[in-house]
Structure 1
Amino acid sequence: MGTDLSGRAAIVTGASRGIGRAIATRLAARGAAVVVGYLRNEAKANAVVEEITGHGGRAIAVQGDLARPAEVTRLFDRAEQEFGALDVVVANAADVVIKPVVDCTEEDFDSLFAANAKSAFFTMQEAARRLRDGGRIIATSTGGTRMFFTETSLYLGTKAAVEQFVRVLSRELGPRGITVNALSPGFTDTDLLPERDREVAAGMSPFGRVGQPEDVADVAVFLAGEEGRWVTGQNLGAGGGVF
């Protein structure tokens, strides 16, 4: 008997691919109605919706650039119109820039902090305003903030910011019974994992492999359910022992 999310409504941003897709489908499999948030790839987002509805679940896809607060508001409005009051928000949308510090431009800095930190902040802010008491906020970070890597300064900087948003918001929302946590994957088989790192990454885990999106998604399901009620303000690692 697993986590039962029947009757609950969730938003998962960045849900057209990778870890976000796995989280969306896992939440739906446990009974949640899911809004599949996406930025560019409508076809992939619709494919996630079709997968969920094909198994008897409820889901819709909603496009939006979440670095624009007005579009965050529109995403939440659409979710409430379709599924009613919200219970779970997963701030997962992200991008990556792989460059040495000396090669990073102002444009790189601005675009990545907008895509990762700004979008997460305003998604979590709107969640704080709209979630029902006892709700769940989960923000995807990365195990990279606990390790040393070259050419990832901007990416890790954005995720470090997200981790601090989580710490503060968990205190602010505790009186309402809302948990707020970061979820930090390790090396996971998605298109954000550089090819250069895959072989080394597998060797760093005692399991001898990189993670699958579903490995991370199952931890998100735990945090989203009743079983996660006593976990808040934390950064949970889902990295297969690499950090």
Structure 2
Amino acid sequence: MPKIPNPDAASLLREPLPLRGRTALVTGASRRGGIGYAVARRLAAYGASVHLHHHVPHDAAQPWGADPDGPRAVAEGVREALGDPSAAVFHGPGDLSDPAAPAELVTTAAEALGGRLDILVANHALSGGDGPLDTIDAGMLDAHWAVDARSVILLVQAYARLRAALPERTPGGRVVMMTSGQDIAGGMPQEIAYALAKGALASATRSLATSLADLLVTVNTVNPGPVDTDYLDGEVYEEIAGMFPAGRWGMPDDPARLIAWLATDEAEWITGEVINSEGGFRR
């Protein structure tokens, strides 16, 4: 096996559109205040064509509510960030608690994006319907498992099958999953069902990375830490802000920058990792 030489000076210059010609599916991109929206904008700004998944009924049932202008406004906000005028933005719904929905979503996204899917960012999650050990029940556990873990694994499965149909060892394949702070000091004792499901993704990261390695697909998981997605305010908000060295919450674009970088060729040597993007958050 020949050694790969050090890059010459010209190749060290950063490509302004490192994802030009690539395609991406971002799940859970239904609100302009959310991480999925920020990730999609970053991918689009780097030149990728993007398909946005949304499930408005979930957001509508939460205290923060759905985006007041709906999925079209979310897609338009991503479209405004396109760095490559030849790229495109699509969007569509999907209830990922349905076992058939993940494969259907991957197929729909790939067809919209020209038959190929390079980047999968599984950002969606179930909010609410959880509690501490003494209050959880089988229904809570099953609901979080179905959305927060099972659907992600099924998305990765469908994505891998799609990549396997491409010419052998096509480069540029990326999977990014989202976990939370369940493995860091203190855990998440008030959200046992959510922590269990998100912990499953963190634990599965290396196994999935190994499973997809022959397809030249990297698999990484990001813990974004506490992020201001418009779900909290008042004294508690300020208290948590004080737990960051910077004196502020993480904002959606903080983890989005990391996730977008992981999608580029610069990150092709990083796989099987769980990466914390918490800004030094002190628990």
Pairwise CA distance, 1:55:
4.4
- Partners of 1:55 and 1:206 in 2: CA distance: 30
- Aligned pair 1:5/2:19, yes or no? yes
> Where does residue 117 of structure 1 map in the other structure?
149
Q: RMSD across aligned C-alpha pairs, in angstroms?
A: 2.1
Letter in 1 for 2:18: D
Distance change (3 Å), C-alpha of 1:55 and 1:163: closer
Q: Would the aligned equivalents of 1:67 and 1:114 in 2 still touch at CA under 8 Å? A: yes
Distance change (3 Å), C-alpha of 1:195 and 1:176: farther
Matches within 5 A, 1:37-48: 37-40=53-56, 43-48=69-74
Match of 1:76 among 77, 89, 106: 106
Pairwise CA distance, 1:3:
5.5
The secondary structure found in structure 1 opposite 2:189 is: coil
> Where does residue 58 of structure 1 map in the other structure?
88
Q: Would the aligned equivalents of 2:42 and 2:81 in 1 still touch at CA under 8 Å? A: no
Identity %: 35
Q: Would the aligned equivalents of 1:3 and 1:225 in 2 still touch at CA under 8 Å? A: no
Pairwise CA distance, 1:197:
5.0
Letter in 2 for 1:22: A
- Aligned pair 1:89/2:120, yes or no? yes
Pairwise CA distance, 1:96:
2.8
Pairwise CA distance, 1:38:
1.0
- Partners of 2:81 and 2:123 in 1: CA distance: 23
Pairwise CA distance, 1:193:
5.9
Structure 1: gaps of 5 or more residues = none
- Partners of 1:81 and 1:230 in 2: CA distance: 29
- Aligned pair 1:151/2:190, yes or no? yes
- Aligned pair 1:16/2:30, yes or no? yes
Count of aligned positions: 243
Bigger radius of gyration, 1 or 2? 2
Q: Would the aligned equivalents of 1:38 and 1:45 in 2 still touch at CA under 8 Å? A: yes
Deviations 1:65-115 (A, max 9, x none): 123232222212221222121110001110233522211122211111112
Deviations 1:159-218 (A, max 9, x none): 101112222110111122210000111110014568775333222221111100000100
Pairwise CA distance, 1:9:
0.5
- Partners of 1:92 and 1:191 in 2: CA distance: 16
Q: Would the aligned equivalents of 2:179 and 2:201 in 1 still touch at CA under 8 Å? A: yes
Structure 2: gaps of 5 or more residues = 1-13, 57-65
Scaled by the length of structure 1, the TM-score of the pair is: 0.91
